[in-house]
Structure formats: C-alpha cells, structure tokens
Amino acid sequence: MATPRASRAWTRRQFLVRSASSLTIASLAKPHLSRAADRAQIAGGIQSGDVSGGSAVIWARADRPARMQVECSTVESFKTIIASASGDARPDADLTSKLLLNDLPPGQDIFYRVRFDDIATGLAGETRIGHFRTAPAAGQSISFLWSGDTAGQGWGIDVSRGGYRSYRTMLDNRPDFFIHSGDHIYADCTIPAEQKLPNGETWRNIVTEEKSEVAHTLAQFRGNYRYNHLDEHFRAFHAEVPMFAQWDDHEVTNDWSPIGSYDEAGCEDDGTPRLVARARRAFFEFMPIRDIGARKGRVYRKIAYGPLLDVFMIDMRSYRDDSWNKGDDRRGWILGAEQLAWLKRELAASRATWKVIAADLPIGLISLDAVALGDGPPDRREHEIADLLSAIKRAGIRNIVWLTADMHYTAAHYYDPNKAQFQDFDPFWEFVSGPLHAGTWGPGELDDTFGPVAMYQHGCSAAQGENLAPCFGLQFFGRVDIDGATGVMRVTLKDVDNRDLWSVDIVPQPQVRPAVVAQHS
C-alpha cells in the first residue's frame, strides 16, 4: 500500500482557511482599488488539470471581460514565483480562460494564485489560491481517484442534505489527481425545484434557468457546467485536486453518437450535428484540458504521470458507429480506426510500470449503448476490443488496468481468458465506480465474450428501486494507490461516507519485451 507523504498532511480545513486568508490579504495589499463591485470577480471555482511532471492547465471564469493572471510557487507564501502566465476571458468563451503552465519542477506541491484584471478599467480583481502536485520524476508513491456521473436524474444541489457530498469525501482522501470518467453534466436532464423521495421526504434543489430545460443551445450547455460550481464542495475539491477529464453521453444527450444525434438545428457543413458541436464547445470551455495541437477538440490523449504510471484517456463516443450496438451486418466500432491505432501504438511505447485505460464505458457489461451484447463470440463492437486485447498480448504489454464509471454502481471485474469465448488475451482487471451525485442503479449483467467475473459489485437493491437518490448513501468512487518502492497497485472501492467497500492488491508483472518509441502522439 502507498505510504503517506508528510508534505500532504495539511488538512482540508487548513487549505480553505488559508485560501480565505489569501483573499483578505490580496484585498488589503491593494488599497487603491475601489469597492468590490468595481473589481473583476472569479465566477465559480478554479481548476487545474492534465498535470504531468512539468506542466499543468489552470482554468477559471470571470464575471466580465478580463485578463486572467496566474502565478505559481512551491511555497504557500509565494515568496518565490516559479511560473506565470496570462490570457483573456472573453464573452465568446463564456468568460472562461485556461492557461498551460510549463517548466514546472516534478514531484512538487505547487500553489497557484489566480486573479482577473478588468480589461476596461485595468483594475485587479480578487485572488484565489489553488494547489496541485506535479508527477514524480522518480519512483515516488502515487494516489488518485476516479468516478463519474454528476447531477444526474434531476438530483441537483440540496444544501440541506450536504450538496455534492462525494466531492467533500474525495477531498478528504488527499489524492494526487482525479479522473472524471464522464457525465460531468446531464444536459438532457432538467433539475426541478423538488423531487419526492421514496421515504416521503422532499429533495429540494438549487435551480437555475439553464437547468430548467433540456440543453439545446450553447448557453444552456454552458449553464449546465456553471451549475456545478454553485456547490461549495465541488469548488473546494477542484481548487486543490487536478482533474483528468473525459466525456461520455450526457455532456450531449443520452446515448449519443456522431451520426445519430440531431435536433432541429441540423448539422454543420461537415455533417457534425450542431447539437454535438455546441456540447463539445462548452465541454472544452469548462474543462481544464489541454489542446493537442492540430487535434484541437480531441478528448483522447495520454497523460504521463512519472515512471510508475501512464494514463490513457479514451473517447468511446465521438468515433462510434451509431447510437445502438446492433445491426444485421454484424459490423460495429466504438473507438474508430484512428483512435484504436493510436491506443495500440502508445501502449506499446509506454515505459511506465502501470498503464491505466480510463474508459467512459465498461467493456463486459451488456448494453446496447456500450460494447457487450450477450454471451458468445465477439460481435459488432466487440471485434474492436478483441483486436485491441490480442494486440496487447502479442506486444507483450503488461500491467494494464481499465477504470470506468457510467453504470451508477460500483464493481470489480476480472477478465479471465479461461472463462471467455474469445481467449487470445492476457487476464486483466476492470473497475467500475460511480455515481458521484446521481441516481443509483443495481448491478448489471456480464457476458462471457471476454470472460469477466464479478469479484465484487454493489448498488441499490430491487427493494430500493432504481434511480435511488444520493441521500441514501449509495454514491461511489474508487481509489488507486501505487507503492513507490514495490510498484504494487492497490485498488479500493469506496462510498460517499469514505468507507472501504472492497480492495485488491495487484502485483506488477515484468514486461515480456522492451517498449518501443512511439512515432506519433
């Protein structure tokens, strides 16, 4: 199990107190400023993301056109500034701004402060402080969390019930980073003022205009992301823990596909549904995700997190065949040829001990929206997964773990070729954990194509019914600890009350052959 680091011992309360203190100090240090209403404010929270050994993305949103100023230091006093950057928050990006910071020292706690300078007046606005830790250069222990599914099924922010409690619990875990496996928003679900609970009580939401209707316009998609920033635990978590973000379906609409998800707005000249284009634009405006050069707007990417870990963020939405995994021609795909080739190439090139594939859908749970269709040999989208698993075996790539959410319960699946219809692959683990703040469902059905065995699963019971509200405690996330000395990975499935539900230690296996150098990113 990963050993704790003394440098991370400061508490959430200390962090929030120091952040609040910094606001006061910043205000006192600038007596020439007029009243607060004349100064640019940070609208919502601040975020960091896509942190590697030497770089990170910083995100914030202003309340008016302004220039974002970011400074970084390895000490909380900011006595020494090691990096700085600036960029505009413009109305055409909903006043969001994000900056890529480079040349940061590896394996360090980095404190960053953000403010906005009013473009019209030049007045400096409020300052907020955030924190992240860069990836280690040596074999230091790593811990991170993953989950997904926020504000789903109309379960929004009920302040009297603690709001987004999972974010508070996750912050108490002090992770190095957090993988959000998708469904950051539920654009296709409204958030009403009230919802009835099965025990006769009433759930009371904070409500906004943009969440009163299903999202179709760009303003409505943006409003879905702004809604999450109304929650204090969401803001506190993202100020301190960097996020690796991917998307799933509800960022657009339920079970969307690139060729089957149109509304009355029609499509762009290239055939992209305008609904999808608007949703993608809002996603990239509000996520602390780096642009990948000429591939701007691409979700799938690799994030190197030191010698022990590479994270492969994949996109099982943007390149799929259609919304439903069925058809008489028996052909199908979910990654697409280009992404599949990229994943094979990058996995083979990885020299990290562990390769985590962060997926937005599970591969063995039966679903017309996902991969598995039922018992039997590979069919439709399963052919693509079979191709990937065979390629991994042929290349002698070891220590691959799949992480996902989506299913609104938590589970550990061990894929065993001896129990599979298709057997040309090495055994591997897949872990499912969610939702963060949405309705809970019961465990789903596995098929035997790739031989998954449910080693653990937990969701709502038949007696509790589906779409069980967050207040009943069945909200889940997962924690991964990689020991810097032994390389052993411990995966723990946890609930909103921070209880360890189930865990397993996975011992790393030696590579069969040396890795090769990738030719493309």
For 243-305, the DSSP string reads: EEE---STTTSTT--TTT---TT-B-TTS-BHHHHHHHHHHHHHS-----GGGTT---EEEE-
Position 397 scores a pLDDT of 97
Give the total residue count for the chain: 521
Name the residue among 269, 341, 331 with its Cα closest to residue 300: 341
Four-residue CA torsion sign, 240, 101, 180, 447: negative
Other beta carbons within 10 angstroms of residue 488's beta carbon come to 15
Position 31 scores a pLDDT of 43
Position 272 scores a pLDDT of 79
Q: So where are the chain's domains?
A: 6-133, 142-506
- Strand-pairing partners, residue 322, are none
Position 25 scores a pLDDT of 36
Domain 6-133 has CATH 2.60.40.380: yes
d(CA 271, CA 361): 25
* Token representation of residue 327: 């058809």
Residue 150: C-alpha distances to residues 304, 317, 434, 475 (Å)? 26, 18, 9, 10
Position 258 scores a pLDDT of 87
Other beta carbons within 10 angstroms of residue 92's beta carbon come to 6
Position 294 scores a pLDDT of 57
Does 6-133 match 142-506 in CATH topology? Answer: no
* Token representation of residue 308: 């022990």
Specify the CATH number of the domain 142-506. 3.60.21.70
Is residue 298 within 8 A of residue 245, CB to CB? The reply is no
Mean pLDDT by 10 residues, the chain (521 residues): 38 44 39 67 97 97 97 97 97 97 96 96 95 94 98 98 98 98 98 97 98 97 98 98 97 89 75 89 96 79 97 96 75 94 98 98 95 94 97 97 98 98 98 98 97 98 95 98 98 98 97 53 45
d(CA 101, CA 58): 8
Other beta carbons within 10 angstroms of residue 175's beta carbon come to 24
